[in-house]
Amino acid sequence: MKAHPTWPDADAERYRRAGYWSGRTFGSYLRSWAGARPGHLALVDGDRRWTYAELDAAADRLALGFRSLGVERGDRVVVHLPNRAEFVLAWFGLQRIGAVPVHAMPGHRRTEIEHMVRVGEAAAYIIPDRHARFDHRELARQLVDDLAKEAAGTPPCRVVVCGDPGAHRDFTRLEDLYGPTVPSGLGDDGAESSDLALLLLSGGTTGLPKLVPRTHDDYAYNARAAAGICALDEDSVYLAVLPIGFNFTLACPGVLGTFMSGGTVVICPDPSPQTALRLIDERRVTITSLSPPLVPYWLEEAEHGGHRLDSLRVLQVGGARISADLARRIGPELGARVQQVFGMAEGLINLTRLDDAEEAACTTQGRPISPDDEILIVDAEGRPVTDGEPGELLTRGPYTPRGYYRAEEHNRRAFTPDGFYRSGDLVRRTPSGNLEVVGRIKDQINRGGEKIAATEVEEHLLTHPAITAAALVGAPDAQWGERPVAFVICQGQAPGSRELASFLKQRGLAAYKAPDEVIAVDRLPLTAVGKIDKQALARRLPRP
């Protein structure tokens, strides 16, 4: 059985003929970038730098290192690294042998990682030693031990550590294993452009988040098309502020779009505005991307920090809706053009264009990046709405996969029979032709760009001894846009939000998913079909 659906042959052929799908793998892209401009600066992390030739050579060495660990073409490898050059090096090292990175977010913990390792049957897991006061080696040790006990005799998941490795493998040694020389002719182990190139984690709506299978063909097109719209070239300098494993930062156009254009990627090691604006000044950054909650802090730092920001041409904002008022401040206060990005790990990317009228750039979330992105805006019965009316966004196209990875049953609900992805987003088409995101019908909370699947958290809440029923809803929040609030029915004393946060942490759930507030109720309102009525609950929340 196939691990995931692919595009029907006729569509694939159309995308190839249109030139969207280039027929090349990321491993071969890197080789040709290095051939075209070997000495050009590709990657900067603090005082460490890599030219394109050096990046290419590092990918070769790492590829051999991974291979010596037993990682082979098609194997999945969970990459759980913060914003460090090693993310990029490991990513291309894996691409070079046709292995498939699975992107974990820095805040993910045992629950999320175990899910990715299990679903992906990961051959390896790459971690930092410690990050944000958390020792990743201990989590990895316990996880790998538990999995080994469960499935004795199957190949173990190898742990590779950037930093002090403890009992695990040392990332640096992996690269050094072969010294500066590498046997010539290392290819992609026969990887094909239609193969899986990476697995992205979806925001999730039901249970545990699904993995999105992205191929070389579709993902390279995603990055290239976005880079074209952003007019990137070899003088472009992209600052990676949000986690590199996030689709936005990696490919919209992000790190990969910058490489496609021959530019330079600068890594921002922490999201503080001081660090980011200092790097914009020092490295003459031309473009970067943020989630909405960070924007006010940047404007503040720009006003008082004394940074030289005249190189910054474009500030992309996406992942959650930015208010028009905040968007309007970006031009005058940062001296950069605001570009709204409404994207999804599942594929479709919408961008406002750099020549859109200022009002459209501030009030809409853009339009699709490919002429062959198909968009339907439909009502609850699946019928197209009158133009300008809100409805659910359905989409298919050359970089929107036709199903999740190893999720046959879920795919039947998340995709229409003719292959449209049901985004769960409510949008309307504005007179400018751009889309405006007006709401959501999926059971998800968007905390300033971080997605929380309500049912996943509810299932954990129900394991608390005092809680007999739970519903997580998004409450409006001035800083985050939304924050998670739990309505619970309890036996005895209801736990407070701090107690619940530590309870969920112990269960290995990422901290950003914990409810900010817990409201004890006697009963939960039900809809006509007997589901918890979350809209009724949302109406009970105090307005901010």
Residues making contact with ligand J2J (CB under 6 A): 203, 247-248, 252, 318-321, 340-345, 349, 365, 423, 425, 437, 440, 446, 449, 451
Q: What 3-state DSSP class applies to 444?
A: strand
The answer to whether residues 219 and 15 touch, using CB atoms and an 8 Å cutoff, is: no
Q: What 3-state DSSP class applies to 129?
A: coil
For ligand J2J, the closer CB: 97 or 394: 394
For ligand J2J, the closer CB: 307 or 321: 321
Neighbours of 523 (CB within 10 A): 8
For ligand J2J, the closer CB: 405 or 503: 405
Residue nearest to ligand J2J (CB): 343
Minimum distance from residue 246 beta carbon to ligand J2J (Å): 7
For ligand J2J, the closer CB: 247 or 286: 247
Q: How far apart are CA 254 and CA 251, in angstroms?
A: 5
For ligand J2J, the closer CB: 60 or 425: 425
The backbone region for 519, taken as left when phi is positive above 0, alpha when psi lies in -120 to 50, beta otherwise, is beta
Q: Are strands 444-447 and 76-79 parallel, antiparallel or unpaired?
A: unpaired
Q: What 3-state DSSP class applies to 326?
A: helix
Minimum distance from residue 201 beta carbon to ligand J2J (Å): 8
Tokens linked to 189: 């182990």
**Alpha-carbon torsion 367, 371, 372, 377, what sign?**
positive
> Would you give the end-to-end CA distance of the chain in angstroms?
50
For ligand J2J, the closer CB: 194 or 323: 323
Minimum distance from residue 252 beta carbon to ligand J2J (Å): 4
Minimum distance from residue 159 beta carbon to ligand J2J (Å): 26
Minimum distance from residue 423 beta carbon to ligand J2J (Å): 5
Buried b (16+ CB within 10 A) or exposed e, 375-390: bbbbeeeeeebeeeeb
For ligand J2J, the closer CB: 217 or 425: 425
Tally the residues of the chain. 544
Minimum distance from residue 319 beta carbon to ligand J2J (Å): 4
- What are the start-end ranges of the H helices in 121-272? 136-150, 171-176, 216-229, 247-251, 254-260
Minimum distance from residue 428 beta carbon to ligand J2J (Å): 13
For ligand J2J, the closer CB: 28 or 423: 423
CA R_g for the chain: 23
Question: At a CB cut-off of 8 Å and minimum separation 6, what does 417 contact?
Answer: none
Minimum distance from residue 227 beta carbon to ligand J2J (Å): 13
Q: What 3-state DSSP class applies to 224?
A: helix
